[in-house]
Amino acid sequence: DTAVSQTPKYLVTQMGNDKSIKCEQNLGHDTMYWYKQDSKKFLKIMFSYNNKELIINETVPNRFSPKSPDKAHLNLHINSLELGDSAVYFCASSQDRGYHGYTFGSGTRLTVV
Amino acid sequence: GDSVTQMEGPVTLSEEAFLTINCTYTATGYPSLFWYVQYPGEGLQLLLKATKADDKGSNKGFEATYRKETTSFHLEKGSVQVSDSAVYFCALIDFNKFYFGSGTKLNVKP
């Protein structure tokens, strides 16, 4: 019954690898997001999709590529992983562009070694 | 541009103490304001919100009032519990963009 679910919860991988994180929401929301949280808990928006259309694309390396096959899914693919990509990545969703708040997934802790 | 500033932590309190976590904001429009809570190892959960000036959001004993004159949205609770230990984020949305504060860690000791 999880509203926003992301997989995997933990991901440990070597530098240079390519990995994907998946996110699905069953709330019927029209907008989905990816956030990166660093070790100091600072949250940074990366991408946002509204009805499968990219609406926010912050300054992130182009090694990061979001894909939204439908409005219930937003996946994040990362190429050529670097040590600095280690963080917790959160998926979120909202209705009406977020004026009533976001619903967050439980996070994916990515560790690049 | 828009921004959210909240007090640095950690804040350490004894159980049943009064809690205030300060939050101030700058915004160009008419933002909605939020407090989110993040328990260890979990995602962020919406704690409370206020959509216009003088609104008071409340949930689980926490309260915050949208003060336009002081551009503030301070979080308060009259009597904290050990289970309230978490990181608290103040946030706003303005012109379809969300802005989070840097988070304040709260430690409540028995």
CB < 8 Å to A100, chain B: 32, 49
Average pLDDT rounded to a whole number, residues A14-21? 97
Q: In this predicted model, which residue has the larger pLDDT, B103 or A57?
A: B103
Give dist(CA B47, CA B36) in Å, integer: 5
**Any idea which residue has 């509203």 for tokens?**
A3
Q: In this predicted model, which residue has the larger pLDDT, A96 or B19?
A: B19
Render chain A in DSSP notation, one character per residue.
Answer: --SEEEE-SEEEE-TT--EEEEEEE-S--SEEEEEEE-TT--EEEEEEEETTEEEEE-S--TTEEEEEEETTEEEEEE-S--GGG-EEEEEEEESGGGTT--EE---EEEEE-
Mean pLDDT, chain B, whole residue set: 95
What is the structure's pLDDT at B19? 97
Instruction: Choose the mutation target among A43, A46, A94, A104 for the interface with B, i.e. most B CBs under 10 Å.
Output: A43
CB < 8 Å to A56, chain B: 97
pLDDT digits (tens, 9 = 90+) for A25-80: 999 999 999 999 998 889 998 999 888 888 877 778 999 999 999 989 999 999 99
pLDDT of residue B94 exceeding 70, the answer is yes
What is the structure's pLDDT at A1? 66
CB < 8 Å to B96, chain A: 55, 97-98
What is the structure's pLDDT at A58? 78
Cβ atoms of residues B71 and B24 within 8 Å: yes
The chain B residue lying nearest A31, using CA atoms, is: B96
pLDDT digits (tens, 9 = 90+) for A73-108: 999 999 999 999 999 999 999 997 788 889 999 999
The chain B residue lying nearest A96, using CA atoms, is: B96
Average pLDDT rounded to a whole number, residues B67-89? 97
Residue A32, token pair as written in the block: 């989905």
Give dist(CA A25, CA B18) in Å, integer: 37
What is the structure's pLDDT at B41? 86
- Within a 13 Å sphere around the CA of A89, how many CA atoms are in the beta-carbon half? 29
Cβ atoms of residues B108 and B37 within 8 Å: no
Average pLDDT rounded to a whole number, residues A13-19? 97
Give dist(CA B31, CA B50) in Å, integer: 9
Q: Chain A within 8 Å of B51 (Cβ-Cβ)?
A: yes
